[in-house]
Structure 1
């Protein structure tokens, strides 16, 4: 068998320095340090979330408006509607800072709409045309103008609401 090891006298100094080879230990140490810092941050966040989870699970609820009670108030409101306990529910929700029930209301609105309507009429002068157009305008003309041009303003003059 032949010994394939060489025992030459050439050293790195004699061959010249190879510039593209470098010691990767310093790079690896930096990466390990960054990974450890990220892991510490993640563990701290996990501990923070676990503490918040335990607080939400085990601390006593002292306010009826607590977000954890949204489903409770929703179901209680539906039960109150179904069983006829609306007044009792409303009283409790008000006293405990709970979520009030939504109810249906029939609302009557008196509105004024600012609208430009174009009407073609045959007349002798502009005053006569204005008078004739005012007399001949129909609800269909108004509806067509709303469909074509929209309206420029809407004012609610009065309203009245009653429970449906």
Structure 2
């Protein structure tokens, strides 16, 4: 403990009675009565108060003091980040629900498409049957004034004038 270096001047601290330890970083600094060796920045009155209080007074070096000043800002920033994370979690949950809804809707649309394609196959068969029926009706309409002669073979001609 007697071979500690001063955090500020980097010289060896020979007498620990003339040194103070930072309560945060645990580094030592000179507290000697001479200004050249008072690296802690504490006045003699402050040093006397620390001795009388049996070290109930907390001492921070300049670096640690500056670091502790930024703590409230860091706490605010952490709080903001927590709120942002909470918002992002809610957004992700909403997106998950939307994805599930979209998947269900896609499945429903595929089922509808499959049933529609089955119906369209049935409809196309019905359409062919309807075409055949309409063609038959049209042909019967065209032949309704024809004379039927039994025993005469029917003409196979495709043109109307040859049929006569």
Structure (1/2) with the larger strand percentage? 1
CA radius of gyration, larger in = 2
Q: When the two structures are superposed, what TM-score results if normalisation uses the length of structure 1?
A: 0.32
Greater RCO (CA < 8 Å, at least 6 residues apart):
1
Q: When the two structures are superposed, what TM-score results if normalisation uses the length of structure 2?
A: 0.32
Structure (1/2) with the larger helix percentage? 2
